Structure 1
Amino acid sequence: MKDILISSFDMEIGGVERSLISMLDKFDYKNYNVDLMLYSHTGEFMKFISNDKYHLLPESKYYKTYRMHIASIFKNKQMKIGLARLRARFNSKGNGACQMQYMWKYTLPYIPKLNKKYDVAISYLWPHYFVSEKVDANTKIAWIHTDYSKIETNIDMDLEMWNKFDYIVAVSQECKNAFLSKYHSLEEKIIVMENITSPEFIKKQSLEKIDDFKKEKGLFKLLSVGRFDEAKGFDNAIKALRILHDIGYKNIKWYVIGYGRDEELLKNLIKENNLEDSFILLGKKVNPYPYMKECDLYVQPSRYEGKAVTVTEAQILGKAVMITNYKTANSQLKNGQDGYITDLSIEGIADGIEKLYKDERLRKRLEENCKNNDYTNKSELDKLYKIIEMGM
Structure 2
Amino acid sequence: MKKKILFVMESLGIGGAEKSLVTLLSQLDYSKYDVDLFLFYPKGEFMDLISEEVNLLDVPEDFNSFILNPKESIKQLIKRGKFRLFIYKIIWVVNLYFNKFILNKEYIGWNIIKKSVKPVEKEYDVAIGFLEKKSIYFTVDKVKAKKKVGWIHIDYAKIEHNHKVDTHYFKFLNNIITVSEHCKDVLIDEFPQYKEKIEVIQNIISPKLINNMSNKEVKDINFIDDSIIICTVCRLTVQKGIDIAIECCEQLIKKGLKFKWIVVGDGSERSKLQKMINEKGLKDIFILIGSRSNPYPYMKMCDIYVQPSRWEGFGITVAEAKVLNKPIVASNIPEFVEQIEDEKTGMIYVDKQDMVNKMDYIIRNKNTRQILSSNLKNIDMNNNYELEKLEKLL
TM interval, shorter chain, is over 0.9
Question: Normalising by the residue count of structure 1, what TM-score does the alignment of the two structures yield?
Answer: 0.92
Instruction: Report what 1:71 is aligned to.
Output: 71
- 3-state DSSP class of the match of 1:58? coil
Instruction: Report what 2:376 is aligned to.
Output: 370
From 151, 157, 169, give the equivalent of 1:149. Answer: 157
User: How far, CA to CA, are the matches of 1:276 and 1:379 in structure 2?
Assistant: 44
User: How far, CA to CA, are the matches of 1:49 and 1:55 in structure 2?
Assistant: 9
Instruction: Report what 2:130 is aligned to.
Output: 124
Instruction: Report what 2:100 is aligned to.
Output: 93
Residues 97 and 153, structure 1, Cα contact 8 Å, conserved in 2:
no
Distance change in 2, residues 1:60/1:378 (3 Å): farther
Instruction: Report what 1:44 is aligned to.
Output: 45
Instruction: Report what 1:360 is aligned to.
Output: 366
What amino acid does structure 2 have at the position aligned with 1:163? K
User: How far, CA to CA, are the matches of 1:291 and 1:73 in structure 2?
Assistant: 38
1:212 matches 2:220: yes
User: How far, CA to CA, are the matches of 1:366 and 1:377 in structure 2?
Assistant: 21
Distance change in 2, residues 1:352/1:66 (3 Å): farther
Question: Normalising by the residue count of structure 2, what TM-score does the alignment of the two structures yield?
Answer: 0.92
Instruction: Report what 2:188 is aligned to.
Output: 180
1:110-167 per-position Cα deviation (integer Å, ceiling 9, x unaligned)? 2221011111100111112110111111111111111111113221122112222110
Instruction: Report what 2:81 is aligned to.
Output: none
User: How far, CA to CA, are the matches of 1:67 and 1:227 in structure 2?
Assistant: 23
Residue 81 of structure 1 deviates from its aligned partner by: 4.8
- 3-state DSSP class of the match of 1:260? coil
1:341 matches 2:348: yes
Instruction: Report what 1:327 is aligned to.
Output: 334
User: How far, CA to CA, are the matches of 2:310 and 2:64 in structure 1?
Assistant: 30
What amino acid does structure 2 have at the position aligned with 1:70? P
User: How far, CA to CA, are the matches of 1:16 and 1:225 in structure 2?
Assistant: 14
Residues 298 and 319, structure 1, Cα contact 8 Å, conserved in 2:
yes
User: How far, CA to CA, are the matches of 2:199 and 2:37 in structure 1?
Assistant: 22
1:307-327 per-position Cα deviation (integer Å, ceiling 9, x unaligned)? 111111111111111110123
User: How far, CA to CA, are the matches of 1:3 and 1:202 in structure 2?
Assistant: 29
User: How far, CA to CA, are the matches of 2:363 and 2:242 in structure 1?
Assistant: 19
Distance change in 2, residues 1:67/1:110 (3 Å): closer
What amino acid does structure 1 have at the position aligned with 2:46? F
| Paired positions, count | 383
- 3-state DSSP class of the match of 1:160? helix
1:61-109 per-position Cα deviation (integer Å, ceiling 9, x unaligned)? 3444686321121122252452243144145335887323xx2222112
Residues 10 and 41, structure 1, Cα contact 8 Å, conserved in 2:
yes
List alignment gaps of at least 5 residues for structure 1: none
User: How far, CA to CA, are the matches of 2:129 and 2:153 in structure 1?
Assistant: 12
Distance change in 2, residues 1:291/1:67 (3 Å): farther
What is the correspondence of 1:289-308 to structure 2 with a 5 Å cutoff? 289-308=296-315
From 161, 166, 188, give the equivalent of 1:158. Answer: 166
Instruction: Report what 2:249 is aligned to.
Output: 241
User: How far, CA to CA, are the matches of 1:61 and 1:335 in structure 2?
Assistant: 51
User: How far, CA to CA, are the matches of 2:65 and 2:314 in structure 1?
Assistant: 29
Residues 342 and 349, structure 1, Cα contact 8 Å, conserved in 2:
yes
Could you say which structure has the greater relative contact order, defined with CA pairs below 8 angstroms and 6 or more residues apart? 1
What is the correspondence of 1:259-278 to structure 2 with a 5 Å cutoff? 259-278=266-285
User: How far, CA to CA, are the matches of 1:132 and 1:370 in structure 2?
Assistant: 41
What is the correspondence of 1:13-24 to structure 2 with a 5 Å cutoff? 13-24=14-25
Q: Which moved more, 1:306-315 or 1:351-360?
A: 351-360
Q: Which moved more, 1:153-162 or 1:62-71?
A: 62-71
Instruction: Report what 1:282 is aligned to.
Output: 289
User: How far, CA to CA, are the matches of 2:307 and 2:65 in structure 1?
Assistant: 32
Instruction: Report what 2:80 is aligned to.
Output: none
1:187-232 per-position Cα deviation (integer Å, ceiling 9, x unaligned)? 1111111111111111111111112334544311111111111110
- 3-state DSSP class of the match of 1:53? coil
Residue 37 of structure 1 deviates from its aligned partner by: 0.9
CA RMSD in angstroms comes to 1.9
Distance change in 2, residues 1:67/1:353 (3 Å): farther
- 3-state DSSP class of the match of 2:334? coil
From 356, 362, 365, give the equivalent of 1:350. Answer: 356
